[in-house]
Structure 1
């Protein structure tokens, strides 16, 4: 089931990067630019987690956290440039479940969101599915566990190799250029990173026993990039 997240952030640059990353990870994201807008969105919708900045217009993040907590036990993660201990303590005392100071890593943000959602599901008694996909040629990917099996044997992937596979496999109809993969996986825009993508694709293909000339999973679209061609069962 797709998790619904509410992002309350007034910095459009940060908000778009976070929103796009989360949508790529399969989340449904609503973006509010002020505290009042975030509160109105929360009351109108049903959300599994809320991301809140503290320095907001119309209603500050502290008040928004307090209002949400009076109404719901949904997980709240504060993302703020305010790093003072008093702000962290106040935010947690008002009901926030976690506090992440800016600038933060998107990888860390994703991990904290996943951790809070797991706790939320256990709290609600929602059975946690394996969330796996079986493909032809005996490939199985366990998305939450970040585990890959090939012919019933575990494939030892690095974190970045798994993320490359995830981006490709969860967007099977899309050709990703090297620069797009580098942006989505490493969350950077840097032409020097294209060689890094090449190295990881080569390593990933080797571990998946996926030859370039007769691919089963990752096809090179010459002049454009890479396309996932694995067929789900």
Structure 2
């Protein structure tokens, strides 16, 4: 990872995260965007980018598809589960199948290499403008998640209350709960949960996820045979079934 801020006397347009394993292309894009008064963090692998995203605050992410450690498709899926930040794919793969898959995973735009740096700047600026308007609209709405049975989740304060009691959750339990609850009905495999929460490739993370889900269920007084909130998809993973 390499990060550099813009000149303080220049107007700062936003924080960008870019993942590109080709140093030549990455330096050209990075230097161009910095001249456009963006701060740019450059990651060289998908996993490095995912860690940077989880630990930073970015306005837009530029994603290559063919990456070591974690490919761009998986990276895009993980980012979209966590955030609505604009995702701009920049790839040498021009076939429709790749584009359809990328957009299906939540990408906002797709630009094929080689591309014009001027066009890239215009697309980045357009998506940032649209996203900032969306954020402004969202700020006027309530972020509190409420479910039957006296269970509420506050993503802003990072608190969960069950039966009028504040739950004491570990950071991993909180991350698992928030991911599941903000995507109700979606089936997550144990590997997906592990990669998203632990920010590592899922070699054998199934048991780890199971232990944390068990602890989370205990704090919710959850009956595994008739769950109200977290349902087991046998032999695979979990889904959130709490009723709003």
* TM, length-normalised to structure 1: 0.58
1:116-155 correspondence to structure 2 within 5 Å: 130-155=142-167
Q: Which among 126, 138, 156 is matched to residue 44 of structure 1? A: 126
**What is the aligned partner in structure 2 of residue 55 from structure 1?**
none
Cα pair distance change 1:207/1:198, threshold 3 Å: same
Stretch of structure 1 that moved more, 20-29 or 214-223: 20-29
**Does residue 215 in structure 1 map to residue 238 in structure 2?**
no
Q: Deviations over 1:179-231 (max 9, x none)?
A: 12111211222332111101100000011111212211111122232121101
Contact 2:61 2:85 (8 Å CA) reproduced: no
**Does residue 23 in structure 1 map to residue 80 in structure 2?**
yes
Cα pair distance change 1:23/1:127, threshold 3 Å: closer
**What is the aligned partner in structure 2 of residue 175 from structure 1?**
187
Distance 1:230 1:220 in 2: 13
* TM, length-normalised to structure 2: 0.55
Kindly state the Cα deviation for residue 36 of structure 1 after the two structures are TM-superposed.
3.8
Kindly state the Cα deviation for residue 9 of structure 1 after the two structures are TM-superposed.
4.8
Distance 1:19 1:177 in 2: 17
Q: CA RMSD in A?
A: 3.1
Helix, strand or coil: the match of 1:141?
strand
Contact 2:144 2:154 (8 Å CA) reproduced: yes
Cα pair distance change 1:27/1:127, threshold 3 Å: closer
- In structure 2, runs of 5+ residues without a counterpart are 1-57, 91-114
- In structure 1, runs of 5+ residues without a counterpart are 50-73, 75-120
Distance 2:139 2:202 in 1: 41
Cα pair distance change 1:210/1:204, threshold 3 Å: same
Helix, strand or coil: the match of 2:204?
helix
